[in-house]
């Protein structure tokens, strides 16, 4: 295949060397003449293990060429990879100016083409860029997306320092494209790596890179804050992190990573607060960990805002415990939402198949009485009564029998806090995130 690569920085030059390894003809384009000339002579423009060898071998075999003539590059290639820098600006936005300049150039090159031409965006872009990219290419090429070219969002996951090996063995391939034909062709192209390919919407492909990098940064910041605390207390950092990382069920796993409602219960909030207090007493700031509780409070406020947005008066709450299938209401975040509703003059009724008000005992009872004085008056014994009474049902319980009943009440507005699949087809279904 003949491939043009726009931008010969870290991503572009690594892509150039690696792709040429598999026998494709690769044409590199950059506005920086020095980079173009260095590669022409068989040298890597960056220091990266293994890259010099790949580039010098590709140039010798004449499968790597470079040019500043962007029209020629597009004209003589079957596909274009865009690896232009998108640096951060002072205000936090990504600077996409160079990217759009290069897209205009690619569009000009497209005017000389008769064949369908996929443009693969490997640069990191702001979510929502896809339409603007397509618009730019259409405007400057006078060609039509879908008929003459396609734009595919295909984020790159390599890390500097191990870029060649990461390019050849990525964690996964993400292809964001509404064009099945282009997506399948790119999937086939990536067969040289063993990673699984996910064909997704353009939006998802744009967002995943920012999400990944935020999560990686979160992990580093979390570990560093803990490291600072361990260091101060003389706790063996290696030993504790070793144990932490061994828990593949709850720690290093997909547990607790489903967007939804606030966390609660008698353990999580109190222990996060305890760790913070402990650090404070030891004169240490934990900027990340100390904001976890604030983030969780915001999630309760968001739930209230969603309910208020329906502009209905009668709100039925199904499920009061902090976790479906239990009767433990200590620290249950829904109780805070109920209080916000009552304070704002909503009429609220409550039902939980696991909570019979008269039978609640011990700490659970004390907590409920303190948190929600007058709760007894709000309880419904029968789920059908809750359905009859309510304009909106807030779902905080997952028992299938009741979910099925809810499915029969097509006129009711549902706000599902815990994303239960049994309710997905309901005509008035809403979740916290969608």
In the complex with ligand NAD, which residue's Cβ is closer, 30 or 225? 30
Least distance in angstroms from the C-beta of 128 to ligand NAD: 16
Among 8, 137, 229, 348, binds ligand NAD (CB under 6 A): 8
Between CA 228 and CA 290 the distance in angstroms is 14
Between CA 110 and CA 107 the distance in angstroms is 5
Least distance in angstroms from the C-beta of 99 to ligand NAD: 7
The pairing of strands 413-416 and 173-176 is unpaired
Please tell me which residue in 18, 83, 179, 267 is annotated as part of the active site.
267
Element (H, E) at 295: helix 292-309
Task: Tell me, residue by residue from 70 to 89, as one string, x for binding to ligand NAD by CB under 6 A and - for no binding.
Answer: -------------xxxx---
Among 3, 6, 27, 120, binds ligand NAD (CB under 6 A): 6
Token couple for 347: 């009429």
What is the torsional sign of CA 317, 323, 329, 331?
negative
Give the single-character DSSP code of 324: T
The answer to whether residue 123 forms part of the interface with ligand NAD (CB under 6 A) is yes
The answer to whether residue 264 forms part of the interface with ligand NAD (CB under 6 A) is no
The answer to whether residue 10 forms part of the interface with ligand NAD (CB under 6 A) is yes
Among 3, 4, 5, 12, binds ligand NAD (CB under 6 A): 12
* Residues 16-55: b if buried by 16+ CB within 10 A, e if exposed: bbbbbbeebbbbbbbbeeebbebbeeeebbbebebbeebb
Between CA 16 and CA 32 the distance in angstroms is 16
In the complex with ligand NAD, which residue's Cβ is closer, 210 or 407? 210
Task: Tell me, residue by residue from 343 to 382, as one string, x for binding to ligand NAD by CB under 6 A and - for no binding.
Answer: ----------------------------------------
Active site residue 179: no
Q: Which span (23-31, 173-181, 235-243, 319-327) binds ligand NAD, by CB under 6 A?
A: 23-31
The answer to whether residue 27 forms part of the interface with ligand NAD (CB under 6 A) is no
Least distance in angstroms from the C-beta of 267 to ligand NAD: 38
Query: Rounded to the nearest 5 degrees, what angle is found at the Cα of 287, between the Cα atoms of 217 and 223?
Result: 45
Instruction: Show contacts with ligand NAD in window 140-179 (CB under 6 A).
Output: 156, 158-160
Least distance in angstroms from the C-beta of 425 to ligand NAD: 39
Neighbours of 145 (CB within 10 A): 19
Element (H, E) at 423: none
> What's the Cα-to-Cα distance from 265 to each of 206, 251, 341, rounded to whole Å?
35, 18, 20
- Whether 103 and 134 have beta carbons less than 8 Å apart is answered as no
What is 43-84 written as a DSSP string?
--SS--TTHHHHHHHHHHTT-EEEES-HHHHHHT-SEEEE--
Least distance in angstroms from the C-beta of 23 to ligand NAD: 23
The answer to whether residue 105 forms part of the interface with ligand NAD (CB under 6 A) is yes
Q: Locate tokens 């994303």: which residue? A: 419
Among 3, 7, 26, 261, binds ligand NAD (CB under 6 A): 7
Among 76, 98, 203, 326, binds ligand NAD (CB under 6 A): 98
Task: Quote the radius of gyration of the chain (alpha carbons, Å).
Answer: 28
In the complex with ligand NAD, which residue's Cβ is closer, 38 or 355? 38
In the complex with ligand NAD, which residue's Cβ is closer, 59 or 412? 59
* Chain center to CA of 312: 32
- Whether 286 and 225 have beta carbons less than 8 Å apart is answered as yes
Instruction: Give me the residues paired with residue 176 across strands.
Output: 153, 200
The answer to whether residue 129 forms part of the interface with ligand NAD (CB under 6 A) is no
Among 102, 177, 276, 321, binds ligand NAD (CB under 6 A): 102
The answer to whether residue 30 forms part of the interface with ligand NAD (CB under 6 A) is yes
In the complex with ligand NAD, which residue's Cβ is closer, 51 or 320? 51
Among 16, 18, 29, 279, binds ligand NAD (CB under 6 A): 29
Among 5, 11, 27, 372, binds ligand NAD (CB under 6 A): 11
Interface residues toward ligand NAD, by CB under 6 A: 6-12, 29-32, 35, 83-86, 98, 101-102, 105, 122-124, 156, 158-160
Please identify every residue annotated as catalytic.
Answer: 267
């Amino acid at each position: 295949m003949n491939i043009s690569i726009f931008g010969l920085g870290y991503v572009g030059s690594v892509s150039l060397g690696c792709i040429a390894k598999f026998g494709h003809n690769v044409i590199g384009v950059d506005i920086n003449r020095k980079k173009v000339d260095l590669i022409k002579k068989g040298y890597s423009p960056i220091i990266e293990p293994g890259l010099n060898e790949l580039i010098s071998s590709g140039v010798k075999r004449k499968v790597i060429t470079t040019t500043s003539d962007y029209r020629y590059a597009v004209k003589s290639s079957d596909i274009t990879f865009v690896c232009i820098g998108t640096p951060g600006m002072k205000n936090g936005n990504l600077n996409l100016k160079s990217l759009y300049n290069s897209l205009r150039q690619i569009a000009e090159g497209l005017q000389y083409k008769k064949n369908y031409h996929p443009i693969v965006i490997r640069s990191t872009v702001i979510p929502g860029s896809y339409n603007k990219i397509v618009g730019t290419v259409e405007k400057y090429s006078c060609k039509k997306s879908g008929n003459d070219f396609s734009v595919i969002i295909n984020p790159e996951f390599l890390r500097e320092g191990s870029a060649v090996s990461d390019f050849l063995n990525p964690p996964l391939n993400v292809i964001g494209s509404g064009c099945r034909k282009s997506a399948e062709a790119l999937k086939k192209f990536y067969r040289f790596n063993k990673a699984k390919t996910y064909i997704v919407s353009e939006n998802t492909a744009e967002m995943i890179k920012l999400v990944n990098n935020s999560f990686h940064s979160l992990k580093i910041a979390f570990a560093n804050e803990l490291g600072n605390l361990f260091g101060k207390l003389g706790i063996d950092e290696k030993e504790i992190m070793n144990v932490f990382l061994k828990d593949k069920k709850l720690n290093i796993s997909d547990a607790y990573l489903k967007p939804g409602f606030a966390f609660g219960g008698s353990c999580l909030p109190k222990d996060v607060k305890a760790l913070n207090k402990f650090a404070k007493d030891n004169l240490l700031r934990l900027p990340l960990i100390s904001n976890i509780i604030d983030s969780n409070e915001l999630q309760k406020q968001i739930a209230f805002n969603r309910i208020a947005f329906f502009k209905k008066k009668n709100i039925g709450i199904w499920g009061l415990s902090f976790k479906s299938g239990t009767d433990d209401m200590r620290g249950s975040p829904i109780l805070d939402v109920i209080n916000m509703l009552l304070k704002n003059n909503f009429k609220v009724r409550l039902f939980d198949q696991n909570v019979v008000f008269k039978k609640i005992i011990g700490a659970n009872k004390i907590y409920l009485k303190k948190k929600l004085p007058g709760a007894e008056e709000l309880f419904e014994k029968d789920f059908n009564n809750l359905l009859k009474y309510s304009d909106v049902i807030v779902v905080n319980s997952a028992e299938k029998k009741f979910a099925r009943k809810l499915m029969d009440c097509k006129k009711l507005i549902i706000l599902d806090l815990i994303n239960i699949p049994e309710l997905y087809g309901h005509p008035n279904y809403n979740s916290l995130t969608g």
